[in-house]
Amino acid sequence: MMKKYMKRSIVTLTAVSCIAGGASAMAANVVAVPISAPIEAVPISAPVEAVPINAPLYEIAQQKMLESLRIYGTATSIEEGRIMLENNNENAEFDKIVVNVGEDTLILDAVTGLPMSIDDIRENETVYAYVGPAMTMSLPPMSGAELVLANIPADFRVPAYEEIDRVEEGEDGSVIVHTNRDTTYTVTDDTELFPYLTRNIVTKHHLIPGTKLLVWEPAVMGEQAEGEAGEQEEAASLKMMVFAYGYSGTAEVGLDGMTIKGEALELSEDEQPYVENGHLMLPFRQFVEALGYEIEWNEETRGITVLNGEKELYSFTARGTEVKLGNEEETRTLFEAAAVENGVSFMTADDLLFLNNVKLVEEE
247-283 pLDDT, tens digit per residue, is 999 999 999 999 999 999 999 999 999 999 999 999 9
Q: Which of 110, 132, 150 is the last residue of a domain?
A: 150
Please report whether residue 136 resides in a domain.
yes
Please report whether residue 214 resides in a domain.
yes
Please report whether residue 319 resides in a domain.
yes
Q: Tell me the average pLDDT across 171-199.
A: 94
Q: Which of 88, 122, 150 is the last residue of a domain?
A: 150
Note the pLDDT of residue 137. 85
Whether omega before 38 lies within 30 degrees of 0, making that bond cis, reads no
Please report whether residue 62 resides in a domain.
no
Note the pLDDT of residue 47. 54
**Same domain (yes/no): 27, 121:** no
For residue 97, pLDDT over 90 is answered with yes
Q: Domain range spanning residue 342? A: 250-360
CATH number at residue 102: 2.40.50.140
pLDDT top residue among 11 and 212: 212
Note the pLDDT of residue 3. 40
CATH number at residue 351: 3.30.457.10
Amino acid sitting at position 198: T
**Same domain (yes/no): 7, 47:** yes
Query: CA–CA distance from 204 to each of 170, 194, 211, 217, 224 (Å)?
Result: 12, 10, 11, 16, 27
Domain count, the chain: 4
**Same domain (yes/no): 201, 221:** yes
CB-neighbour burial class of residue 301 (10 A; exposed 0-12, middle 13-18, buried 19+): exposed
Residue pair 246/262 in contact by the 8 Å Cβ criterion: no
Please report whether residue 61 resides in a domain.
no
Please report whether residue 225 resides in a domain.
yes
Residue closest to 121 by CA, chosen among 150, 101, 148: 150
Task: Give me the percent of the chain exceeding a pLDDT of 70.
Answer: 79
Q: Which of 13, 35, 56 is the last residue of a domain?
A: 56
Please report whether residue 155 resides in a domain.
no
Note the pLDDT of residue 31. 41
Query: How far is Cα 242 from Cα 177, in angstroms, rounded to an integer?
Result: 13
Query: What pLDDT band is residue 232 in, cutting at 50, 70 and 90?
Result: very low
**Same domain (yes/no): 140, 190:** no
For 326-337, what is each residue's pLDDT tens digit?
988 899 999 999
**Same domain (yes/no): 135, 193:** no
Note the pLDDT of residue 221. 44
312 Cβ contact partners less than 8 Å away, ≥ 6 residues apart: 305, 306, 326
**Same domain (yes/no): 356, 268:** yes
Please report whether residue 195 resides in a domain.
yes
